[in-house]
Copies of this chain bind each other. A is one copy, B any other.
Amino acid sequence: MSTSHGYRASWWTYILHQVPHTNFQFEVVDNQFAPQEWSYQQALLFLASIAGLCLAISLVLICVYLIKFCCCASQEDDDSKSHRVCCVTWSCVAAVIICCAGIGIGFYGNSETNDGVYQVTYSLMNANHTLTSINLLVSDTVELLSSVVKSDLTQLEEIFSTRTEFVVMIRNTRRQVESVAQQLTEISSFFWKGAELNPSALAEQVNFIEDYRWLAYILLLLLDLIICLFTLLSLAKQIKWLVIVMTVVSFFVLLLSWGSMGLEMATAVGLSDFCSDPDAYVMNQTQMITNINPDILQYYISCNQDVTNPFRQRLTMSQRALSNIHSQLHGLEREAVPQFPTAERNVLVVQGMLNTTEGNFHHLVALLNCRGLHKDYVDALKGLCYDGMEGILFLLLFSFLSALSFTAAVCSLPRAWKRFRNRDLDYDDMDEDDPFNPQESKRFVQWQSSI
């Protein structure tokens, strides 16, 4: 189960993770998240195809219902007929109400998923900021150190050339400065060696996909909403052609709803497989792509007492070298500067460099510490596996309700349409318990005469 400090897989992740994963040969496959493996892809496609099965069942039901309604209409007795007529409009209204509830849930789910994915991209951008800050800080510091070695330390060596003990001190300082630069360069190269490590590109990619996903769902939700409203309108105003159009559109949205449900089911199960043990997958993938040392990855992914900071040795060495530089400079200032006043400026410059490097060093220690990057990692996981997952489940519910209501609508609308036709033939044959009952012009005469 879950591993990271601060992130625990939720119970719905656990339940979805337990869903049996079978390939196309109906063999159970491993439920570890492995989207690159064909057997795992098959398992997800298999789950998605369940929605296809539901679609097939609903289509069969619709066919059976409509055939029964066409062929057996005349055989029913009066009482059941009156019941059915009552039923038709109410089932349309119930379908519309269920669909509206589904749309509300869908809007919420879409917003939640968007929040979750936004959290992921935000965390990735944060991690990217940390990594580029490390790189920038190291390159700035190394540049500063190199410039000091090239100019001021060389000048100091020339100034002190007559006194061997001071030259030795300067050479020691130069060695220490070079050692610090070397350590820092090595620390930076840990992150950037071999391949590119670019959370920012990943964030942009995720953002790009999410933008289209969000838009697609918004369009689907608006389509559903418009169909609901126009269905109500067509029933209320008894506009035949609108009922026919709505029936056809409802049928296509029915296909779309089952399709999106399949997609969401596969996504939810895939996400639950990822979320139940994200560390192993993230570790493997990051290492495979970026070729970073596994110790470093482990340090940032776990970030607990058991894993030592892989940079600690190098940081300690740099820290000691900086202390030694300080001692050397202190000695030079006390002993050499009174004898060589021209050296004072250079010593002050080197001291300034030391101060800046010490400040940068503290900042680098903070950036390299696992807390920041680990928090980004945990926040991303929480965004994806809490908000994102929750959103997907709400969208799944929306698709299901939408599919149910459009099945009901496709069944009911042709019957409603038939009733309109009957009414055109005979005004007396009308349904008084219909909640959408105009015929105003005819009745007003009667009503006005009675008052």
Contact = CB atoms under 8 A, between A and B. Distances in A.
Q: Report how many copies the assembly holds.
A: 2
Interface residues of A, number: 56
A323 B324 CA distance: 8
A428 B108 CA distance: 47
B435 A450 contact: no
Contact of A432 (B86, B372, B443): B443
Interface in A288-338: 308-309, 312, 315-316, 319-320, 322-324, 326
B359 A308 contact: yes
A222 B191 CA distance: 53
Contacts of A429: 447, 450-451
B428 A432 contact: no
A201 interface: no
Contacts of A319: 319, 322-323, 358
Nearest to A451: B429
Contacts of A436: 435
Contact of A435 (B115, B367, B435, B451): B435
A107 B105 CA distance: 11
Contact of A448 (B78, B439, B447): B78
24 contacts: A78-B451, A82-B448, A86-B440, A126-B375, A236-B435, A309-B362, A315-B362, A322-B323, A323-B323, A365-B366, A366-B368, A366-B371, A372-B372, A375-B375, A426-B450, A428-B447, A428-B450, A429-B450, A432-B439, A432-B442, A432-B447, A434-B437, A435-B435, A435-B437
